[in-house]
Amino acid sequence: MFDAELDKRADEIIARYPQPRGAVMPLLHLVQEKAGWVTLEAEEWIARKLGLTPAYVHGVTTFYTMYRTSRCGTYLLQLCTTVSCMLRGCDNVLEHIKRRLGIEEGETTPDGKFTLVTVECLGSCGTAPVMQVNDDYYEDLDIERVDALLDALAEGRPAPFPPGPGPQRVMVEQHRAS
């Protein structure tokens, strides 16, 4: 993984910052993108590149919830359960996903496909309930949409609808533009 290509990208990132240490977070993102999580080797590599100790880098990794220190499923399902999503029914969606996948929050399905976690406000409260799946936000969720999404992902098909707001939203956008 730690090849010349990665090295080059890291050097580009480091050059943007007044001091090398500033690049810790983008480098953690970089290695997580490549490996799916932050390994101890990755932390050592970052430490070497930036002249820091591995313990220091580990301290940063563990402060931020987005850096994962263990492997997760192919699809990381992050369902928002904060106030606006709660008002629009995220608890039902959560119960449904748990039942459907047979897992609790924080667990991964035995086939390694899905990991389910609940998260705090994703900044998408106007299209609640919202679930982030890897990099994408799926918004305006209800049980039907969640089922269609999970059906497709489970079978290795692309998502049946694009990320973002649900279809009923088009009307709203028109209203807004008028």
Partner 1 sequence: MEKVLTRNIGIEDSWTLRVYRSRGGYKALEQALDTEPDALIDAVKASGLRGRGGAGFPTGVKWSFMPKQPTPERPNYLICNADESEPGTFKDRLIIEQDPHQLVEGCLVAAWAIRASKVFIYIRGEYVHGARRLEQAVAEAREANLCGRNILGKGFDCDVVVHRGAGAYICGEETALMDSLEGGRGNPRLKPPFPAQAGLYGHPTTINNVETLSCVPLIVERGAEWFASIGTDERNTGPKLYCLSGHVKRPGVYEAPIGIPLLELIEEFGGGMLRDDRPLKAVIPGGSSVPVLTAEECRDLPMDFDSLAKRGTMLGSAGVMVMDSSTDMVQVMERIAHFYAHESCGQCTPCREGTGWLEKIIRRIRSGRGSLDDLATLESAAGHMRGTTICPLADAAAMPCQSFLAKFRHEFEHYIKTGRAAVTAG
Write out the residues near partner 1 by the rule CB under 8 A: 16-19, 21-26, 28-29, 50, 59-60, 63-67, 81-84, 86-88, 119-128, 132, 135-136, 172-173, 175-177
Question: Considering the rule CB under 6 A, would residue 82 count as an interface residue with ligand FES?
Answer: yes
CA 30/CA 50 separation, integer angstroms: 14
The phi and psi torsions of 121 (rounded to 5 degrees) equal -30, 125
Burial class (CB in 10 A: 0-12, 13-18, 19+), 2: middle
Stretch that binds ligand FES, among 9-17, 24-32, 53-61, 76-84 (CB under 6 A): 76-84
Residues 111-170 binding ligand FES (CB under 6 A) are: 121-125, 128, 130
Would you list the DSSP string of 54-109? HHHHHHHHHHSTTS-SS---SEEEEEE-SHHHHHTTHHHHHHHHHHHHT--TT-B-
124-136 per-residue burial string, b: 16 or more CB within 10 A, e: under 16: bbebbbbbbbeee
The phi and psi torsions of 27 (rounded to 5 degrees) equal -70, -35
Question: Considering the rule CB under 6 A, would residue 109 count as an interface residue with ligand FES?
Answer: no
Question: Considering the rule CB under 6 A, would residue 66 count as an interface residue with ligand FES?
Answer: no
Q: Shortest Cβ distance from residue 120 to ligand FES (Å)?
A: 8
CA 98/CA 174 separation, integer angstroms: 36
CA 108/CA 17 separation, integer angstroms: 37
Question: Considering the rule CB under 6 A, would residue 83 count as an interface residue with ligand FES?
Answer: yes
Kindly write out the interface string for residues 13-52 of this chain, putting x where it contacts ligand FES by CB under 6 A and - elsewhere: ----------------------------------------
35 vs 125 by CB, closer to ligand FES = 125
Q: Shortest Cβ distance from residue 80 to ligand FES (Å)?
A: 3
Number of residues that bind ligand FES (CB under 6 A): 12
Which residues contact ligand FES (rule: CB under 6 A)?
80, 82-85, 121-125, 128, 130
